[in-house]
A = this chain, B = another copy of it.
Amino acid sequence: MRLIDGNAIAQQVLNEVKARVSQLAPTVPQVAFVRIGEDPASVSYVTKKQKTAAEVGIQATLKVFPETVTQAELYAHLDALNADKNVHGILIQAPLPKHLSETDVFNRVHPSKDVDGFSTQSIGRLIQEIPGAFAACTPAGVIELLRRSGVATAGKHAVVVGRSLIVGKPAAALLLAKGCDCTVTVAHSRTQNLAALVRQADIIVAAIGKPHFIKADMVKDGAVVIDVGINRIPDATKKTGYRIVGDVDFEAVAPKCEAITPVPGGVGPMTVAMLMKNTLEACERAQPRA
């Protein structure tokens, strides 16, 4: 069993991003964060992304709106960011307050700056396999983990468990695309005989959002398992009273695997790294051709 070290691979990606950023000088890639409200998880995610941006030489700005922000106020800010030549990427931290349509708000970001890959245009480009399409950062991180771990994908059977728009569907699209060339199955809450289906997978991408959902008897010997889950479960031994576990029953599943990602330290760090890579590439594409 090989442990796929997401922290180490994310650091590789970030080192490469940092080197490419320095080659752009005096241009400095810039990502604009937009946060709405004070949801602790959102605050924490944005802070982490700001910190990582600083580490690789990407400038980050943050605009915080109150929960009561109107669509018009938000659009005015996004339009200004779209028009600002010094801004290369825009990230609106989800989730949004319920009075705003996530689809409409994400679609207000200009496609060339949609480094989060959540707009209709970006999703369409991903399915069309248009070179340079921005893929959402978590599924993009899943693919990068596989590539940099030397996992063969062509013709292999990948089973994606979960059909969310931000992970399951784009992960399936990336695995199916030319270059990856997996046979792809998407399973979900309505799937019959889920265990038997997952047991066929050469590659399992677990994105269900349920702690320890994937058990040892659902995994064939020699499978590669990528665990996208980030679940809090009560743990009295921790100061916080909880610990983070994935969608995979790691202790039981790991011994059967050819390779597996841990949680934390697997897909999580890749999400932030891919955001930096997308921002860098948005900036590179915005440069005048030599």
Task: Point out residues on A near B: beta carbons under 8 Å.
Answer: 103, 119-125, 127-130, 154-157, 163, 165, 169, 173, 176, 181, 183-188, 190-193, 197
Complex CA–CA separation, A184 to B125 (angstroms)? 21
B residues less than 8 Å from A155 (CB atoms): 190-192
Complex CA–CA separation, A121 to B130 (angstroms)? 13
Contact B183 A190 (CB under 8 A): yes
B residues less than 8 Å from A125 (CB atoms): 120, 124
Kindly provide the distance from the CB of A281 to the nearest chain B CB, expressed in whole angstroms: 19
Select A103's contact among B123, B128, B165, beta carbons within 8 Å.
B128
B residues less than 8 Å from A165 (CB atoms): 127-129
A157-B121 contact given A169-B127, A183-B185, A183-B186, CB 8 Å threshold: no
B residues less than 8 Å from A123 (CB atoms): 123-124, 127-128
A192-B183 contact given A120-B124, A121-B121, A128-B165, CB 8 Å threshold: yes
B residues less than 8 Å from A124 (CB atoms): 119-125, 127
Kindly provide the distance from the CB of A164 to the nearest chain B CB, expressed in whole angstroms: 11
Q: A157-B192, A181-B188, A183-B190 are in contact. List 11 more A-B contacts (CB 8 A).
A: A103-B128, A121-B124, A123-B127, A123-B128, A127-B169, A128-B165, A155-B191, A157-B191, A157-B193, A183-B186, A183-B192
